[in-house]
């Protein structure tokens, strides 16, 4: 099945902002959404589970017409397999975020392991830039008490009025 394309790279490039957003169709549900501020977004409309939906394919010109068509075809393939492409995209985004969060947590653990040392007696020592600071067990306990107490206090609004 060949899809008749109504959109060209030249038309996409020359599309100008108007007073309100408008669409330039390409075929098979894909269109270029032109916003009043001049931003251009690739979208594809589809129906799944009896509901009309739209899937973001990218921002023009970062995503070319050719790339948007490839993404549209991938989404339509998922639809023919009975899979909602919007849900697939959300799951991929959640997976990327989980990997990013895990990496941040791992990096923080590594930094803490190399910068903070708590010895067997309860004394805290840490590096702060080029300085090395060592607290006694009593000072460490007092610092912990202070931090626990301030954690429950909400900071006051210090913004300028």
Q: What is the pLDDT of residues 23-58, one digit of tens each?
A: 999 999 999 999 999 999 999 999 999 999 999 999
Q: pLDDT value at position 126?
A: 80
For residues 67-104, one letter each, b for 16 or more C-beta atoms within 10 angstroms of the residue's C-beta and e for the rest, the string is ebbebbeebbebbeeeebbbeebeeeeeeeeeeeeeee
What pTM was computed for the model?
0.63
Q: Is the pLDDT of residue 22 over 70?
A: yes
Domain boundaries along the sequence of the chain: 9-84, 91-151
Q: pLDDT value at position 1?
A: 43
- Over the stretch 100-124, which tens digit does the pLDDT of each residue have? 999 988 887 776 666 777 788 888 8
Q: 9-84 adopts what CATH topology?
A: Double Stranded RNA Binding Domain (3.30.160)
131/85: higher pLDDT: 85
Q: Is the pLDDT of residue 150 over 90?
A: no
Q: pLDDT value at position 154?
A: 57
Percent of the chain residues past pLDDT 70, beyond the cut: 87
Hey, how many other C-beta atoms are within 10 angstroms of the C-beta on 150? 9
- Give the distance, in angstroms, between the CA of residue 43 and the centroid of all CA atoms in the same chain: 18
Report the alpha-carbon angle 57-60-63, nearest 5.
55
How many angstroms separate the first and last alpha carbons of the chain? Answer: 64
Q: Is the pLDDT of residue 156 over 80?
A: no
């Amino acid at each position: 099945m060949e899809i008749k394309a109504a959109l060209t790279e030249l038309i996409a490039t020359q599309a100008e902002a108007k007073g309100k957003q408008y669409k330039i169709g390409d075929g098979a549900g894909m269109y270029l959404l032109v916003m009043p501020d001049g931003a251009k977004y690739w979208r594809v409309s589809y129906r799944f589970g009896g509901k009309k939906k739209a899937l973001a394919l990218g921002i023009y010109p970062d995503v070319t017409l050719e790339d948007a068509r490839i993404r549209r075809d991938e989404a339509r393939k998922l639809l023919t397999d009975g899979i909602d492409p919007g849900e697939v995209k959300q799951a991929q985004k959640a997976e990327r975020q989980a990997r990013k969060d895990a990496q941040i947590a791992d990096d923080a653990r590594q930094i803490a392991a190399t910068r903070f040392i708590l010895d067997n007696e309860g004394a805290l020592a840490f590096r702060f830039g080029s300085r090395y600071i060592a607290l006694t067990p009593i000072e460490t306990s007092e610092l912990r008490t202070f931090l626990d107490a301030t954690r429950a206090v909400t900071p006051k609004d210090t913004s300028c009025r």
